[in-house]
Structure 1
Amino acid sequence: MKINNNVFINYFDSISCAGNNPEEMFESICQKKDTICIDSSYVKDKDVAIGKVSIKKDLNDILLERIENLLLNTNLKDFKNTLLVIGSSVGGMNETERLFFKNKNYKKINPKKHSIDAISYFLKQKYKFYDDVSFSTACTSSANALGYAKEVILKGIYKNVLVIGIDSLSYTTVCGFSALSVLSSKPCTPFDKNREGMNVSEGFGILLLQNIKEENSIELCGVGYSSDAHHMTQPHPDGIGAKKAMQNALNDASLTIDDIGYINAHGTGTYANDFSELNAINSLFVNKKPKVSSTKSVTGHSLGAAGAIEAIISSMVLQKQTIPANKGLNEIQIEGINYSIETTSSNVNYVLSNSFAFGGNNVSLIFGLTK
């Protein structure tokens, strides 16, 4: 039996190093603003480029304020009939670190404030949700959360799903990526021949998905998953898993490569990711070459929050009919890609957004204008 429910994004909000709200973030991306800072406090004897939010508050406190704004500006008065879906790779790890470094021991650490579902635990202290689910699949966490939201709305299980992708800066993650030798000491330059690595960042993306269409709704049309399981931390160099995820998303949306007007690439600025993703795009988009850019040179890589934040960017591309530039792309290494070097106005009906993670965990999402 074919289910005919559609899934619509009816509200979104965000904070990142690129801006304190979606409008600021999109403007920073389009204007190729310098938003990444150099920091020497996270990795011993090493400068790394990271993305910090400008508001000097705990990220969870900012999140609470934004949830209040959501209730004031949507058709929801409460969350009693809403499923909460969290995507995070850090969870409450930064809270644990803060207490450990302060007290020099673990005795005052609350396990409920450490785990991946620490965000939902925190929110449930103030709000009553129908239920909650937390995803932690590294850099695909909130992309998987969005895919799950689409599935439960399509099946008629829920009418309202609140998806939040969130990650704070953590010593554990920054030092972990440093140990892998993939951090850059300058703002990252995805797809550029002279790339140095990635920029870990913090932030969140909030999206309200519903089964009803509103005036400015964006439709979540397709979701594609794959797992190439090539290596613990590196994707398959030919992009086998990435290609499969994109094709699965097209199939799910009943679209072809000719329908996609823009690809928001995962584009972390690491050698392994750049080659794998671009090879996958070249392999799949043979005749039709949509514009491609990575926005992480401005937003940084917010890990588990990246899928949600880039879902918002993709939605704004559709709403504004504007394709953002790929900042820092000065010397192309892989040909055959229709890189977005400068921000341009363009007729775009569908956007494909990629999120790829350790272990070959891949998610592609397709967003479209409502008809």
Structure 2
Amino acid sequence: MYKPISITAVASISPLGTSLSEAWNNYKSPQHHISENTFQNITALVAQIPETSQKFIETLRQSDNKYKSLDNTVLYAMYASREAIKNAGWNGSDNFGINIGSSRGATHLFETYYDDFLKNNKAQTLSSPTTTLGNISSWVAHDLQTQGPEISHSITCSTALHAMLNGIAWINSGMCNKFLVGGSEAPLTAFTIAQMQALKVYAKQKATLYAIEKSYPCRALDLNKTKNTMVLGEGASMACLEVGETKNALAIIKGFGYATEILEHNISISSDAVCFQKSMQMTLGDTNPEEVDVIVMHAPGTVKGDLSEYNAINKIFCNKTPKLTTNKWKVGHSFGTSGMLSIEMAILMLQHQEFIEVPFIEKQKAPRQIKNILVNAVGFGGNAVSILLSK
């Protein structure tokens, strides 16, 4: 990396709420945010944004007549983006770049329009412009009144961290000195959940809302589980990137890496996650692996996914494995948003100098200090990204 880059703000809307203080308080609790809900005729465990957050989104939807036709994916992105630039002290005249991705895009709206087409054999007027993936960043740019470059993309579950890579590249090129990056996902529809169930990766046992007892339906990072326990979540998360080491930096991007591996199956990576080994090695660069205090794992809650990433970490860090954690047992897997929610979790640990553990995993000795945190993400296609954050 040729130029140091600061993260000057993060903001999100997720099952943890809408502010960093809410998120931190929820991370401090052993409670999860997974509940059972029914979508059309499909009943499943999911992690939804709370009712108070849903009201914020509905207020945003009603604030402009043009916004009434937009999918939640776009509205979640708008909400989180507004909060992020406010926290960073940016305004539209800064002409910062925007790269917001989504694995699925306007899932709910697309399915609604398609159902209507099957019934009437005629498409509604706005069915195309409101379901194209590119409308996320363009609508956010419209809402924020900025004139910088706009990028929307989908690289499955590593989408948000690929957005961060793009922001880093634009800043290093000198074409921009500020970039808003992140992901947005609203995948809680019957068809999307059915797709995950068809892959046999979805959790089946019932959940007790906010249960503190033994009921943790998503067993992300539990390497002894014998069944897949992935649960879908929703939300959006954004980060503001600025060139240099700024005074208001929440964290400095110390390294980044990426890799893709040749797959033997459409959804799986190798047993020792070669893509993660390569992305983590690239991220570390000249950094001594022993300087990494914590790794926020992708850990989707599947048997093979969690174990392969763990094996890759052991290959790179040998016998001095950093403390390991994840947030998917608490907030589910929000596809393209998940990597940026992990970045937010890492920044909170750096700020508070406190390790957030997984409650059903054997207690790890807390690190003496938290100076460097590695964040991982990977998706269908074996496209891994690793980001190293420094205090």
Mark yes or no: TM-score above 0.5: yes
Q: CA separation in 1, counterparts of 2:299 and 2:83?
A: 31
Structure 1 residues 284 and 320, CA gap change in structure 2 (3 angstroms): same
Tell whether 2:334 aligns with 1:317: no
Counterpart position of 1:77: 91
Unaligned runs of 5+ in 2: 59-71, 206-216
Q: Deviations over 1:170-191 (max 9, x none)?
A: 4343221111011103420113
Work out whether residues 9 and 220 of structure 1, in 8 Å CA contact, stay in contact via their aligned partners in 2. yes
Counterpart position of 2:7: 9
Structure 1 residues 289 and 114, CA gap change in structure 2 (3 angstroms): same
Counterpart position of 1:269: 301
Q: Which moved more, 1:315-324 or 1:32-41?
A: 32-41
Q: Which moved more, 1:317-326 or 1:344-353?
A: 344-353
Q: Which moved more, 1:9-18 or 1:215-224?
A: 215-224
Q: Deviations over 1:26-52 (max 9, x none)?
A: 3222322121111232663xx421110
Counterpart position of 1:335: none
Q: CA separation in 2, counterparts of 1:191 and 1:284?
A: 18
Amino acid at match of 2:197: S
Q: Deviations over 1:327-361 (max 9, x none)?
A: 333xxxxxxxxx6x369574011100110111211
**Superposition TM-score, scaled by structure 2 size:** 0.84
Amino acid at match of 1:322: E
Work out whether residues 14 and 206 of structure 1, in 8 Å CA contact, stay in contact via their aligned partners in 2. yes
Structure 1 residues 179 and 42, CA gap change in structure 2 (3 angstroms): farther
Tell whether 2:199 aligns with 1:180: yes
Tell whether 2:282 aligns with 1:248: yes
Counterpart position of 2:219: 189
Q: Which moved more, 1:193-202 or 1:134-143?
A: 193-202
Q: CA separation in 2, counterparts of 1:82 and 1:173?
A: 33
Cα drift, residue 67 of structure 1: 3.5
**Superposition TM-score, scaled by structure 1 size:** 0.88
Cα drift, residue 282 of structure 1: 1.3
Tell whether 2:101 aligns with 1:87: yes
Specify which of 48, 53, 73 is matched with residue 49 of structure 2: 53
Q: Which moved more, 1:128-137 or 1:160-169?
A: 128-137
Structure 1 residues 176 and 6, CA gap change in structure 2 (3 angstroms): same
Q: CA separation in 2, counterparts of 1:53 and 1:343?
A: 32
Unaligned runs of 5+ in 1: 330-338
Amino acid at match of 2:337: A
Work out whether residues 71 and 78 of structure 1, in 8 Å CA contact, stay in contact via their aligned partners in 2. no
Counterpart position of 2:258: 225
Cα drift, residue 155 of structure 1: 2.6
> Alignment partner of 1:288: what SS?
coil
Amino acid at match of 1:165: G
CA RMSD, Structure 1 to Structure 2 (Å): 2.2
Tell whether 2:136 aligns with 1:119: yes
Work out whether residues 321 and 346 of structure 1, in 8 Å CA contact, stay in contact via their aligned partners in 2. no
Work out whether residues 97 and 179 of structure 2, in 8 Å CA contact, stay in contact via their aligned partners in 1. yes
> Alignment partner of 2:290: what SS?
helix
Counterpart position of 2:389: 367
> Alignment partner of 1:163: what SS?
strand
| Identity across matched positions, percent | 23
Q: CA separation in 2, counterparts of 1:191 and 1:77?
A: 40
Aligned residues between the structures: 353
Q: Deviations over 1:180-232 (max 9, x none)?
A: 01110342011322353201110111110001412343111111111112231
Q: Which moved more, 1:95-104 or 1:290-299?
A: 95-104
Amino acid at match of 2:153: F
Counterpart position of 1:164: 182
Cα drift, residue 154 of structure 1: 2.1
Specify which of 149, 156, 162 is matched with residue 138 of structure 1: 156
Q: CA separation in 2, counterparts of 1:110 and 1:239?
A: 39
Q: CA separation in 2, counterparts of 1:342 and 1:13?
A: 28
Amino acid at match of 2:106: G
Q: CA separation in 2, counterparts of 1:152 and 1:26?
A: 31
Work out whether residues 323 and 343 of structure 1, in 8 Å CA contact, stay in contact via their aligned partners in 2. no
Specify which of 154, 177, 199 is matched with residue 172 of structure 2: 154
Q: Deviations over 1:139-160 (max 9, x none)?
A: 0001111111112212322101
